[in-house]
Amino acid sequence: MDRDQIFEIVRQKGPILPVQLSREINQNVLIASAILGELVSAGKIKFSYTKLGGSPLYYVDGQEPKLQQLYSQLHDTEKKIYDLLKEKKILRDKQLEPAFRVALRNIRDFAIPLEINMNDTTEIFWRWYLISNEDIKPFIHNLLESEEEGKKKIEKEAIKKEILTKQEAKTPLENIPSKPIEKPIPEAELRERLRQELLKELREELRKEIMMQRPEINKTEQKKLEKERKKKEIDESDPLLLRTKKYCQQKNIKILSYEIIIKKKEIDLLISVPSAVGNISYYCKTKNKKKITDNDLSNAFLKGSQKKMPVLFLATGNLLKKTQEKLDKEFRGISFKNITNN
């Protein structure tokens, strides 16, 4: 049975497990897995990161909604954040508890990371996998507006409390002026003046904060397009590229494409890695850096998630101790290799 016939079986019956395909083609599971791996490497089908009975599901474009059958395979915390993301459609990473932030990085089939420029800093948002980047924009705006309204409400309550406190406060006898005021201002008028001044200050602060926190989604998209238009020329003599090629050649890894991000320091690659079930496509990050940090792994993890690929991180240096401890917890799916001696 040729590969086109296998593809047609996946298209008709996917998402499908290797054991299910083996029954369809009357072959053993290893052969079925190897054929599916070849189709994945060719870009014809995809596979789930969440496993069912120890194996991923294989599927074609358009079958993504059926991946929700994997819900029962998630841990309790992953189920909670899955339910919340499905309901809200968008979540802001920094607003979540640490356990939920880790869980989102583990359910890559359902949570898609977005990098959005907010007030000259890049923030991570997570969108529900069945909604597009274009359709998610109104949800992002609503999320940010809701947060701003919450801050506004808290500020108003604080001002109200401060006004009531000042109204209830009594002037100590020792502070009473010896000279009587000729034309005293009525207490009601004083309270109104104070209220107006406080509200004026609040409106100005809120205006500044809103102007500073407007999401710059279009600006981010423009930067990405500009980056694509201005791809850097590839320098075949780059020492980091030569070292990376040497490592890949020793490990029988095929380089599909690459881009030098910073000469002699950083490279992005798409590679094909041999395995027991066939060649698997990986996103690869290579860095010439003595100490690899959480931020280095996080950026590579996000790019791998966006491409729906496992990640191979190659470096001339080593991981920081605290980063090494997080590798198998927060950054599952990343393989780290030192290429100093290669």
Quick one: pLDDT at residue 245?
92
Distance separating alpha carbons of residues 286 and 270, to the nearest angstrom:
11
Paired tokens of 312:
């191979």
Domains 3-70 and 239-338 in one fold: no
CATH class of 239-338: alpha beta
Quick one: pLDDT at residue 200?
72
Quick one: pLDDT at residue 248?
92
Phi, psi of 314 (to 5 degrees): -110, 140
Quick one: pLDDT at residue 302?
86
Domain 3-70: CATH architecture, name and number where available: Orthogonal Bundle (1.10)
Strand, coil or helix: 23: helix
Quick one: pLDDT at residue 1?
65
Quick one: pLDDT at residue 86?
94
- For the chain, report the end-to-end CA distance as a whole number of angstroms: 41
- For the chain, give every domain's residue range: 3-70, 112-170+185-230, 239-338
Q: Residues with Cβ < 8 Å from 340, sequence gap 6 or more? A: 316, 317
Residues in the chain with pLDDT values less than 70 = 1, 147-192, 194-195, 198-199, 201-203, 205-235, 342
Cβ-contact 101, 40 below 8 angstroms:
no
Quick one: pLDDT at residue 327?
82
**86 sits in which H/E element:** helix 76-88
Distance separating alpha carbons of residues 197 and 195, to the nearest angstrom:
6
Q: Residues with Cβ < 8 Å from 191, sequence gap 6 or more? A: 163, 167
Listed residue (274, 262, 103, 276) closest to 285, CA to CA = 262
CA 130 to chain centroid:
15
What are the Cα distances from residue 252, in Å, to 49, 271, 286, 316, 335? Answer: 24, 11, 17, 20, 16
Phi, psi of 256 (to 5 degrees): -85, -40
Paired tokens of 277:
């079930």
∠ CA 300-304-307 to the nearest 5 degrees? 145
Quick one: pLDDT at residue 167?
57
Beta bridge partners of 296: none
Q: Residues with Cβ < 8 Å from 330, sequence gap 6 or more? A: 102, 105
